[in-house]
Amino acid sequence: MAPPDTRTQILDAAERLFAERGYGGTSVRAITDLAGANLAAVSYHFGSKAELLTEVVRRAIEPITAAQRAGLDRLLARTPDPPVAELVEAFAGPLFDGMPADDEGGARRSRLIVMIISDPAEEMRAWTGPAEDAVRERYLAAFERALPDLSSEELGFRLRGILAVTAVDRVEVYNRHSPADLCPKTGEGARRWAVTFLAAAMSAPPTGT
Residue 81 to residue 84: CA distance in whole angstroms:
9
pLDDT of 12 reads 95
* pLDDT tens digits, one per residue of 45-60: 999 999 999 999 999 8
Query: With 60 as the cut, is the pLDDT of residue 162 above it?
Result: yes
* pLDDT tens digits, one per residue of 91-126: 999 988 877 666 677 778 888 888 888 899 999 888
pLDDT of 83 reads 97
Query: With 70 as the cut, is the pLDDT of residue 183 above it?
Result: no
The predicted model gives 71-75 an average pLDDT of: 97
- Nearest CA among 131, 138, 129, 134 for reference residue 74: 138
The rounded mean pLDDT for the chain is: 88
pLDDT band at 3 (very low <50, low <70, confident <90, very high): low
* pLDDT tens digits, one per residue of 11-55: 999 999 999 999 999 999 999 999 999 999 999 999 999 999 999
Residue 80 to residue 155: CA distance in whole angstroms:
19
Residue 41 to residue 143: CA distance in whole angstroms:
44
Query: With 80 as the cut, is the pLDDT of residue 175 above it?
Result: no
Query: With 80 as the cut, is the pLDDT of residue 2 above it?
Result: no
Could you tell me the pTM of the whole model? 0.85
pLDDT band at 184 (very low <50, low <70, confident <90, very high): very low
pLDDT of 101 reads 61
